[in-house]
Amino acid sequence: MEEQLLRSMGFGVTSGVITTLGLIVGLDASTGSRMVVLGGILSIAIADALSDATGMHISEEAVSGEGEKIWGAMGLTFLFKLLMALTFTVPVVFLTLQTAVVVNIVWGLSVLAVLSWRLARHKGENPWFSVGEHLAIALGVVVITRLVGLWIKGIFGG
């Protein structure tokens, strides 16, 4: 059960952070609309959480075929992904959009760093390498989605 919990938490939280940050930064760059960013977060919190949970379900089916384990992995992945994505709504609701974007980037990278550190220590690995690797990926997503958002705004916006 501990392995399943760690796998679901690691996957759900990481996916929740990286996917939601990419969405927030891209939508902010392309629209600058609080309503669009909030709607995007809520949509992705539900749709992507269900998608990832189903992917985890199928992945577990392919490997183990154990019914209870499969449904547990699916449920935990959904829960971790949904809750993680929903945490990003708080700054968007209560702060200006520009401030919320910065706060959410700091929040997401902090969660990812702590998770990476703890999982690496749990496995007896070098936590600095794990944290650096995962933050580099997340920052890459943030930069790329910002550029894509600005590109879309340049083509379709004004």
Splitting the chain (158 residues) into consecutive groups of 10 residues, what average pLDDT does each group show? 78 93 98 97 95 85 73 86 96 98 98 95 92 96 98 89
- Measured CA to CA in angstroms, residue 86 lies from 44, 78, 102 at distances of 9, 12, 16
Structural domain boundaries of the chain? 2-156
Q: pLDDT at position 4, please? A: 75
pLDDT of residue 57: 81
pTM: predicted TM-score of the whole model, two decimal places: 0.91
Q: Which pLDDT score, from 0 to 100, does residue 66 have?
A: 66
Q: What is the pLDDT of residue 74?
A: 83
Please report the pLDDT score of residue 65 as a whole number: 66
Amino acid found at 149 = G
